[in-house]
C-alpha cells in the first residue's frame, strides 16, 4: 500500500525546498535546474537513502514532464519573435543535430575508444539543446529577438527527431536494425516530424476555435483547457505513430498566439506547470543517479565529450546551418556557445537504460556528469558572452508588463514597471497619449503610492497600475514600450513598440 500521507508530506517539502533553491540560484547566478538535480541526489543513495532505481518509470515520467515543458514553451513564445527564425531553427533542430551527432560519435569511438553503438547513443543524447534550460536562462539575457527566437525554436523542435534517433539506435544496439538503411531512417524521421507538425497545427487550430467560442463556468478552467488541448495533440500524434513532441510544441505555439480568453491567467498557470515539471523531472533524475558508480573514466569521458561537443561539434553544426541564411558572425558565435543541455540528454539516456542496452549504465553516468559540468560552465557566462559580442548594443530598454483581467467591467489591469535607462523617465503622464478611457490609476514609487495627475513625471523604478478597456491592452503595451524606447517623440522615430530585431 502507498503511504499517501507520507508521500504528500515529502512531496510538498521537496517542492517548497526546490522553490527556495530556485530563489537562491537566481541570487547566486546559478542555474536552478542543477540545484533541483542536486536536491534529488541528496535525497537519493548518497544522502538520505531514498531508493529509486526504476528506469522504465523514470523514462515514462521524464517524457511526461518534457511534454508539459514543451507546452509551456510554446504557450509563452510570441510568434512574432520566432517567425523570421523558424527556417534556421528547423535546420538546426534536424540537420544541425545530425551533424553534431555524427562528429561526436566518431570522436567518441575513434578517439575515446567507446563501442560503436554507445558512441552513437552518446552523440545522440548529448546533441540536442534543452528547452527547459533555454527558456529559463535565455529569457533573462538581453538579446535581439531574432537570435533568442532561433535558440528557443531550435530547443522546442529538436526533441522530436532526437527521441526517434535514440530509440532506433537503442534497438539497433540490441540487434534490431531499422529496415531500409540510412535512407529508410531519414525517411522515417521526416515522415514522423511532418506528421507531428501537421497534427499539432490541426489540433491547435481547432482548439483555438473552440476555446474562443465556448463559455466556461469559471475563468480558471481556461488555462486547464489550454494545457489539456496541447497534451491532447501529443496523444493524438503518438497514437498516429508520428512525433508527439513536435505536435505538442506546434499546438501550444498556435494556442499561445491566438486571441484566447484570459491569456494572462493562462500564461501564469503554464509557467507554474513548467516549473513543477522541471522540479519533478530534475529531482527524479537526481534520485536515479548513483554517485558511487562515478569513476575517473566516467568523468574523463564526460569532460572530453563535453569539450569536443562545445568547441567543435556545436560550432560546426551551427556554422553549416546558419551560413545559408546570412546570419551575422557574432550571432553564430553566441549560438555556438549557447547550446545549453539540461534534462533532455539525461531523459534520453533513460531510453537505452530501460531497453537494457549493454553499457547503458556507463552512458547514463557520463551524460549526468556532462550536463552538470557544462551547464555550470555555460549558463552563468551567457550574459558576459552577449556583452563581449556586442549583442546588447542597440537594444532599447523595455518596460515589464503584467496583466490581469477585470471580468466584471470588461477591462484589464496592467502592472507596468519602468526599468533603468528607460526613456519613460521624466515623461509626464499626459505625454503618454494613451487611448481614450485608459487610466493610469496608481503610481508606486518606493514606499509611496499615489494617484498621479497629468503633470506627474514618471521615474525609473516606478510601477504603474493602468486600467484599460477590453481590446486595448495590446495597444497600451505597444505605446508604453514605444515611449520607453524613444521617449515622448517615439512617433517621430517610427517606433511602434513591436518586437526588436
**According to the model, what pLDDT value does residue 496 have?**
58
Residue 66 φ/ψ region, left for φ over 0, alpha for ψ in the -120 to 50 degree band, beta for the rest:
alpha
For the domain made up of 20-388, the CATH class stated in words is mainly alpha
Q: Which residues of 72-91 are buried (b: 16+ CB within 10 A; e: fewer)?
A: bbbbbbeeebbebbbebbbb
For the stretch 387-444, pLDDT in tens is: 888 876 655 556 666 666 665 667 778 888 887 777 888 888 888 888 888 888 888 9
Span 400-493: which CATH code? 3.30.70.1450
pLDDT at residue 150, as a whole number? 86
CB 474 within 8 A of CB 461: no
Given this model, what pLDDT does residue 209 score? 87
Quick one: pLDDT at residue 233? 93
Q: Which residues in the chain show pLDDT less than 70? A: 1-2, 24-31, 45-47, 81, 139, 177-182, 184, 264, 392-409, 493-501
Quote the pLDDT of residue 396. Answer: 52
Confidence at residue 203, expressed as pLDDT on a 0 to 100 scale: 92
**pTM (two decimals):** 0.74
pLDDT of residue 319: 92
Dihedral of CA atoms 295, 299, 305, 311 in degrees, nearest 10, equals -170
What is the pLDDT at residue 406? 67
Alpha carbons 281 and 284: distance in angstroms, whole number: 5
Domain with CATH 1.20.1530.20 in the chain: 20-388
Other residues' Cβ atoms within 10 Å of the Cβ of residue 335: 25
pLDDT for the residue numbered 231: 92
Give the number of other CB atoms < 10 A from CB of residue 315. 18
pLDDT number for residue 4: 75
Could you tell me where in the chain the CATH 3.30.70.1450 domains are found? 400-493
DSSP per-residue letters across 65-131: HHHHHHHHHHHTS-HHHHGGGHHHHHHIIIIIHHHHHHHHHHIIIIIT---HHHHHHHHHHHSSPPH
Amino acid at each position: 500500500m502507498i503511504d499517501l500521507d507520507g508521500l504528500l508530506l515529502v512531496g510538498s517539502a521537496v517542492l517548497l525546498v526546490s522553490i527556495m533553491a530556485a530563489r537562491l540560484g537566481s541570487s547566486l547566478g546559478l542555474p536552478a535546474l542543477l540545484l533541483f538535480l542536486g536536491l534529488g541526489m541528496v535525497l537519493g543513495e548518497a544522502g538520505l537513502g531514498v531508493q529509486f532505481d526504476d528506469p522504465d518509470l523514470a523514462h515514462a515520467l521524464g517524457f511526461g514532464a518534457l511534454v508539459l515543458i514543451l507546452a509551456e514553451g510554446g504557450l509563452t513564445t510570441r510568434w512574432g519573435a520566432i517567425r523570421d527564425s523558424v527556417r534556421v531553427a528547423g535546420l538546426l533542430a534536424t540537420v544541425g543535430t545530425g551533424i553534431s551527432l555524427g562528429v561526436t560519435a566518431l570522436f567518441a569511438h575513434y578517439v575515446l575508444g567507446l563501442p560503436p553503438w554507445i558512441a552513437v547513443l552518446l552523440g545522440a543524447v548529448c546533441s540536442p539543446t534543452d528547452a527547459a534550460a533555454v527558456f529559463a536562462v535565455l529569457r533573462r539575457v538581453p538579446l535581439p529577438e531574432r537570435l533568442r527566437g532561433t535558440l528557443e525554436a531550435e530547443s522546442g523542435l529538436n526533441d522530436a527527431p532526437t527521441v526517434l534517433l535514440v530509440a532506433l539506435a537503442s534497438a539497433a544496439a540490441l540487434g534490431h536494425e531499422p529496415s531500409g538503411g540510412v535512407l529508410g531512417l531519414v525517411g522515417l524521421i521526416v515522415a514522423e516530424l511532418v506528421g507531428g507538425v501537421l497534427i499539432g497545427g490541426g489540433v491547435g487550430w481547432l482548439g483555438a476555435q473552440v476555446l474562443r467560442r465556448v463559455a466556461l463556468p469559471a475563468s480558471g478552467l481556461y488555462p486547464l483547457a489550454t494545457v489539456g488541448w496541447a497534451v491532447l495533440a501529443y496523444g493524438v500524434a503518438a497514437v498516429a505513430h508520428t512525433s508527439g513532441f513536435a505536435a505538442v510544441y506546434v499546438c501550444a505555439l498556435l494556442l499561445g498566439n491566438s486571441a484566447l480568453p484570459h491569456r494572462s491567467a493562462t500564461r501564469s498557470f503554464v509557467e507554474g506547470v513548467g516549473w513543477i515539471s522541471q522540479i519533478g523531472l530534475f529531482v527524479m533524475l537526481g534520485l536515479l543517479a548513483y554517485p558511487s558508480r562515478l569513476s575517473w573514466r566516467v568523468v574523463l569521458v564526460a569532460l572530453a565529450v563535453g569539450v569536443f561537443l562545445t568547441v567543435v561539434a556545436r560550432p560546426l553544426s551551427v556554422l553549416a546551418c546558419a551560413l545559408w541564411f546570412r546570419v551575422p558572425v557574432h550571432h553564430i558565435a553566441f549560438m555556438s556557445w549557447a547550446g545549453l543541455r539540461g534534462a533532455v540528454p539525461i531523459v534520453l539516456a533513460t531510453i537505452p537504460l530501460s531497453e537494457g542496452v549493454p553499457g547503458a549504465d556507463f552512458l547514463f553516468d557520463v551524460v549526468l556528469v556532462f550536463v552538470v559540468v557544462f551547464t555550470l560552465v555555460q549558463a552563468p557566462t551567457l550574459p558576459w558572452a552577449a556583452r563581449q559580442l556586442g549583442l546588447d548594443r542597440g537594444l532599447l530598454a523595455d518596460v515589464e508588463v503584467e496583466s490581469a483581467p477585470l471580468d466584471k467591467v470588461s477591462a484589464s489591469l496592467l502592472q507596468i514597471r519602468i526599468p533603468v535607462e528607460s526613456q519613460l523617465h521624466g515623461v509626464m503622464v499626459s505625454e503618454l497619449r494613451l487611448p481614450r478611457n485608459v487610466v493610469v490609476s496608481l503610481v508606486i514609487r518606493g514606499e509611496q503610492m499615489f494617484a498621479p495627475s497629468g503633470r506627474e513625471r514618471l521615474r525609473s523604478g516606478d510601477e504603474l497600475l493602468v486600467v484599460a478597456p477590453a481590446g486595448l491592452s495590446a495597444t497600451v503595451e505597444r505605446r508604453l514600450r514605444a515611449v520607453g524606447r524613444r521617449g515622448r517623440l517615439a512617433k517621430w522615430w517610427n517606433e511602434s513598440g513591436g518586437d526588436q530585431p
